């Protein structure tokens, strides 16, 4: 499926910002199942330095340094992406979940690179609760495909999607206590569950194309940044992606932007400002539109 993705981030301040330094992950990755026809990012006011680079995980990352006084800063990212369903090797999905522990399965190809994703990270701390919650799915010898299917379904069933239940500072323990959260929370929960048992799993950020109710038009800007998880599949070049928020395996509606250990590695926009402003407002709008909608307009 082809999409045009537009992501706008706007900051407003009640006094001039004299110096702004920012970093953002907003450009989709080129992948075997995802082809990017074009991608661009624009910052207004125009910064003196705007540099594109690739981070240690292969993600496209941009940096900017703006030294012109401003009370409004906008970052507009646009891209055109074709997403195809990922095909996984049946034998890889049938192997025992214990094989997906790179610190124990050290001889497996790629284990050295997967190890970083099997250890605790700042937003996905382990504790006895997450270990026990995951253990119900991790029956000894159970195929990794079945384990992930079961854990994904349980998270969807046991936890409510509630934007008011958590904040950006909430921990996995907070999510466990509230039994509610948003997509980032459920991704971090899944990471903590799997990694507490030694399984390598990484946080994936991107977008999910939404489907309007029958008979209703799409609402431009109604989409949002999304997050899901992928698990190491020893013996293949692929990681098994799964979306615990929606209890589904991503197909052609998930647009991958970046991956890392957790949200902190792939924050869409973050930075530092120098200002005497007392108040600021952040507004974000995202639209993931099938490309044919644009050709018909």
Provide the mean pLDDT of the chain. Answer: 93
Q: Provide the strand spans (E) within 25-169.
A: 34-44, 49-54, 60-66, 70-83, 160-161
Closest CA to 138 of 175, 92, 101: 101
Query: So what's the pLDDT on residue 217?
Result: 74
Query: So what's the pLDDT on residue 55?
Result: 95
pTM of the model: 0.93
12 and 159 belong to one structural domain? no
Question: Which residue in the block uniquely carries the two structure tokens 């899901």?
Answer: 228
Bridge partners of 226, per DSSP, are: 206
Q: Provide the strand spans (E) within 32-147.
A: 34-44, 49-54, 60-66, 70-83
- Percentage of the chain exceeding pLDDT 90: 89
Q: Using 50, 70 and 90 to split pLDDT, how confident is the model at 296?
A: very low
| Cis peptide bond upstream of 45, omega within 30 | yes
96 and 187 belong to one structural domain? yes
76 and 148 belong to one structural domain? no
64 and 181 belong to one structural domain? no
295 pLDDT more than 90: no
Q: What's phi and psi for 91, nearest 5 deg? A: -65, -35
9 and 124 belong to one structural domain? no
130 and 160 belong to one structural domain? yes
Range of the domain at 137: 90-264
Q: Helices (H) and strands (E) in the chain — how many of each? A: 7, 13
Question: What average pLDDT score do residues 262-269 get?
Answer: 96
DSSP letter assigned to residue 242? E
271 and 259 belong to one structural domain? no
Question: What average pLDDT score do residues 132-144 get?
Answer: 98
H/E segment holding residue 269: strand 269-275
134 and 199 belong to one structural domain? yes
Pair of tokens at residue 258: 């970046």
Each residue's pLDDT tens digit, 34-55: 999 999 999 999 999 999 999 9
226 and 250 belong to one structural domain? yes
76 and 184 belong to one structural domain? no
Pair of tokens at residue 30: 């080129």
Give the domain CATH number at 57.
2.60.40.2250
Q: How far is 289 from 5, CA to CA, in rounded Å?
A: 6
Q: Using 50, 70 and 90 to split pLDDT, how confident is the model at 297?
A: very low
Question: What average pLDDT score do residues 253-268 get?
Answer: 96
287 and 209 belong to one structural domain? no
Alpha-helix runs per DSSP H in the chain: 90-94, 111-114, 128-135, 144-158, 172-178, 183-195, 291-296
Question: What average pLDDT score do residues 133-143 get?
Answer: 98
Domains identified in the chain, total number:
2
95 and 193 belong to one structural domain? yes
Query: So what's the pLDDT on residue 14?
Result: 95
**3-state class (DSSP) for residue 107:** coil
Give the domain CATH number at 227.
3.10.620.30
């Amino acid at each position: 499926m082809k999409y045009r993705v537009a992501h706008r981030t706007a900051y407003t301040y009640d006094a001039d910002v004299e110096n702004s330094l920012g970093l953002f992950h907003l450009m989709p990755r080129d992948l075997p199942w995802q082809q990017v026809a074009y991608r661009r990012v624009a910052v207004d006011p125009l910064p003196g330095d705007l540099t594109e680079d690739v981070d240690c995980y292969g993600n496209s990352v941009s940096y900017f340094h703006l030294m012109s006084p401003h009370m409004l800063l906008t970052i507009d990212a646009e891209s055109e992406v074709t997403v195809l369903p990922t095909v996984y090797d049946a034998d890889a999905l049938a192997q025992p979940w214990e094989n997906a522990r790179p610190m124990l399965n050290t001889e497996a190809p790629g284990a050295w690179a997967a190890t970083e994703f099997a250890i605790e990270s700042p937003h996905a701390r382990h504790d006895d609760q997450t270990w026990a919650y995951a253990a119900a799915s991790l029956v000894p010898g159970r195929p990794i495909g079945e384990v992930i299917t079961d854990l994904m379904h349980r998270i969807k069933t046991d936890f409510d999607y509630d934007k008011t239940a958590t904040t950006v500072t909430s921990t996995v323990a907070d999510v466990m206590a509230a039994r509610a959260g948003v997509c980032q929370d459920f991704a971090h929960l899944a990471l903590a569950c799997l990694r507490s048992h030694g399984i390598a799993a990484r946080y994936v950020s991107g977008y999910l194309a939404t489907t309007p109710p029958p008979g209703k038009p799409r609402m431009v800007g109604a989409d949002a940044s999304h997050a899901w998880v992928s698990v190491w599949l020893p013996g293949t070049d692929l990681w098994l992606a799964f979306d615990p928020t929606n209890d589904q395996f991503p197909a052609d509606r998930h647009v991958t932007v970046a991956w890392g250990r957790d949200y902190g590695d792939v924050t869409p926009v973050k930075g530092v400002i120098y200002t005497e402003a007392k108040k600021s407002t952040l507004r974000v709008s995202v639209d993931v539109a099938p490309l044919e909608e644009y050709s018909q307009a």
